[in-house]
Amino acid sequence: MTLSPESRTLTLRHCLHDNGRTIHLHAAVIMPDHTHLLFTALRDAEGWTFALPEILRAIKGASARSVNKLTGRTGPVWQDESFDHVLRGDETLRETIDYIRQNPVRKGLVEKPEDYQWLWVEECGAGS
């Protein structure tokens, strides 16, 4: 499924909704056919880290319901699986944010990352 501009806006809103609740969002980009999120899972009231499947199920479920309502469709919007990646010692948050920022440029959608409407990067610049 290719996401319309309106569907990308809804999806970005859902990603931002969980920022500060279950995740600390560092960057997000909603592409026409996939999404990149970089976040740190937060802890619940009992001190347990929110689980990745729980986080993704909430974001994917809420955004899929909104996209389906907008488009008049039913059924899945997102793949069941996700391609998650834990940052290792030789990768930095800044490098990963830059990779996410450049995604719309690499796909030829814009010339500069800041011109892409469905890109969000935390203001503090990757926590550095």
Task: Enumerate the domain spans of the chain.
Answer: 5-121
Residue appearing with tokens 């990067």: 121
Q: Residue 128: its pLDDT value, please?
A: 41
**pTM for this entry:** 0.86
Alpha-carbon distance of 17 to 96, in angstroms, equals: 22
Q: Answer for the pair 2, 73: CB distance below 8 angstroms, yes or no.
A: no
- Round to whole Å and give the CA distance between 8 and 66: 11
Q: In what order do the strands lie in the sheet with 23-30?
A: 35-41, 23-30, 119-121
Instruction: Tell me if 79 sits within 8 A of 15, measured CB to CB.
Output: no
Q: Does domain 5-121 have CATH number 3.30.70.1290?
A: yes
pLDDT score recorded for residue 43? 96
Q: What is the DSSP letter of 28?
A: E
Cα separation, 34 vs 74, in Å, equals: 18
pLDDT computed for residue 124 by the predictor = 66
pLDDT for res 117: 97
